[in-house]
Amino acid sequence: MLDSKTVQLLHVEDDDICIMGMARAFKLAKLANPVSFAHDGIDALEMLRGSADRQRLPRPYLILLDLNMPRMGGVEFLEELRKDDDLKKSIVFVMSTSSADEDLVRSYNLGAAGYILKSNPAGAFLEATALLDTYWRVVEFPAG
User: Percent of the chain, pLDDT > 90?
Assistant: 44
Question: What is this structure's pTM?
Answer: 0.85
Evaluate if residue 122 carries a pLDDT over 80: no
Per the domain annotation, does 144 fall within a domain? Answer: no
Range among 20-34, 37-51, 109-123 with highest mean pLDDT value: 37-51
Measure the CA–CA gap between 31 and 102, rounded to whole angstroms. 33
The CATH code of the domain that includes 41 is 3.40.50.2300
Full residue range of the structural domain in which residue 46 is found: 8-138
pLDDT in tens, 54-98: 889 988 888 999 999 999 999 999 999 999 999 999 999 998 888
CB-based burial, 58-70: b 16+ in 10 Å, e otherwise = eebbbbbbbbebe
Give a yes or no: residue 59 inside a domain: yes
2, part of any domain: no
| Mean of the per-residue pLDDT values of the chain | 84
Residue 92 is assigned to a structural domain of this protein: yes
1: which DSSP letter?
Answer: -
